[in-house]
Structure 1
Amino acid sequence: MKKLLAGLALISFAFVAGFVIFASAIGRPAGQPPGKADGIVVVTGGEHRLVEAARLLSEGNARRLLVSGANRMVSREDILRRSGLDPALYDRVDIGYEALDTIGNAEETRDWAQAKGFGRIIIVTSAYHMPRTLIELRRALPEATFVPYRVINHKLHAERWWLHLSTARLLLSEYIKIIPSAARLALARLARRIGAPELAEGEAPGPGQASGRS
């Protein structure tokens, strides 16, 4: 019984410590500019992300932009208009309407990158959503290089998340979703090492699928 309690205590400590590290990292500055890449992918979920991705394209950071997981009720014209992009660059933007969640974003990105022959891709999404997005991308397209470009939403007060209940709940929810995503990535990497690609396509047991757009 003591061993069981000790094990549960250790697991609980690891969970809490991991969450604190994750949440604390979200409030850090966005970091250095992403530099040059073949393409840019923005994961939809906030207009600031789209505007930032369009700016990176305008500044010549990549040749093309994919808007992944676009709302099917919103037309291409509306998306482009909201991006603030120069109309002269509209033909360098692809809109993906198939992705319904983070796993779907990764699959949509994989299909787009392989079709275009892109190996280095800038990923634009919110700071709190970036870790899970990168995990799913590395599982879907392990041969590519992904350059994260985090968009900071200052309304979240992520730098002092422990003082804002709504922010703490959001970060905890995202952290919980990271756990099965990380398990799937670990399983996929193991499957590739042992030469069992059918396992790499499967999913590790977890509390649920990675949830929808964030």
Structure 2
Amino acid sequence: MTLRAEHSPSSAPARRRPIRLVLTMAFAVVAAGVVGFLVFLAQLPVNEVKPSRDADGIVVLTGGSSRVSDAMELLSVGYGKRLLISGVHPTNAASDIQRSLPDSQPLLGCCVDLDRSAVNTRSNAVETRRWVRQRGFQSLIVVTSNYHMPRAIVELSNAMPDVTLIPFPVVGDKWNDEPWWTSGAAMRLLLLEYAKYVAAEVRVRLDKLGLGTMVASDETSQARDLARRSAASTN
């Protein structure tokens, strides 16, 4: 005689509960990511607006088209006393900037400093803090692309909580030429930048709780190593 195992009527639903919980949590994470991305997009300006006030200094984070030229223009009309160009490639000199901006020679000679150590947004903030402290500045106009500005402000405000930051988001021509949602490249850029922005926010919050020391130390070491290799390649 064959004996059949008896199954409780409630065993099947019980097995499904963990699956439903996982699916619910995954849906919640995806929904939160979508909402966060939409909020991130909503804060990106579509037009350039001049700073609301002057500042002690100006910093421009390299990496996007027209960032440096816009920063030089702000300096030329007196929005700041001095300009830091942060993230300049070790092989580039002031003469390279002068060739791309022929009218910039007088300002480059008197009022512009080049930072060749920074290799990412976080090290931009570290080098900018060093420059601000050396100059005794209390306010700073920040020039970078509109999509990069949220992350830049997170890093800079964390590095310099006592310095007033005045954003000047640079809006590239392509931003208004075609909607970003019609361009696969633009969509990928924005999604990547959003992910980096969220990661920066999380790391900064962990740092404030004293939980991000090991990660910060590792990232700083990597940045220094990269900077040393770049400097060595120029010798």
- Measured in 2, the distance between the counterparts of 1:25 and 1:34 equals 17
Corresponding residue to 2:77 among 59, 75, 90:
59
Determine helix, strand or coil for the equivalent of 1:146: strand
CA deviations over 1:144-182 (Å, ceiling 9, x no partner): 111110100121458721111111011001111111100
8 Å CA contact 2:46, 2:176 repeated in 1: no
Structure-to-structure mapping, 1:126-141, within 5 angstroms: 126-141=145-160
**Does residue 40 of structure 1 match 2:58?**
yes
Larger radius of gyration: 2
Shift of 1:79: 1.7
2:132 to 109, 113, 125: 113
CA distance in 1 between counterparts of 2:76 and 2:170 reads 17
RMSD: 2.4
SS in structure 2 of the partner of residue 108 of structure 1: helix
CA distance in structure 2 between the partners assigned to 1:56 and 1:32 by the alignment:
8
Superposed, which structure 2 residues align to 1:62-211 within 5 Å? 62-90=80-108, 91-157=110-176, 160-191=179-210, 202-203=214-215
Task: State the 1:27 CA deviation.
Answer: 5.2
Give the conservation status (yes or no) of the 8 Å contact 2:51–2:167. Answer: no
Hey, what does 2:15 align to over in structure 1? none
Structure 2: runs of 5 or more not aligned: 1-17, 217-221, 227-235
Percent of residue pairs bearing the same amino acid type: 38
The 1:85–1:53 alpha-carbon spacing in structure 2 relative to 1, beyond 3 Å, is farther
**Offset of 1:138 from its aligned partner?**
1.4
Residue 19 (str. 1) matches residue 37 (str. 2) = yes
Deviation at 1:47, TM superposition (A): 4.2
Kindly indicate whether the alpha-carbon contact (under 8 Å) linking 2:44 and 2:147 is maintained by their aligned counterparts in 1. Answer: yes
Please give the alpha-carbon distance, in whole angstroms, between the structure 1 residues aligned to 2:179 and 2:100.
Answer: 30
The runs of 5 or more residues in structure 1 that have no matched partner are 192-198
Task: Answer yes or no: is the 8 Å Cα contact 1:58–1:85 preserved in 2.
Answer: no
What is the TM-score normalised by the length of structure 2?
0.77
Shift of 1:188: 2.9
Cα contact 1:54–1:84 (8 A) shared by 2? no
Alignment match, 1:194:
none
C-alpha contact (below 8 Å) 1:23/1:161 kept by paired residues: no
Answer yes or no: is the 8 Å Cα contact 1:123–1:148 preserved in 2: yes
Q: Number of aligned residue pairs: give it.
A: 200
- CA–CA separation in structure 2 for the residues paired with 1:35 and 1:27: 18
Q: Which amino acid aligns with 2:173?
A: H
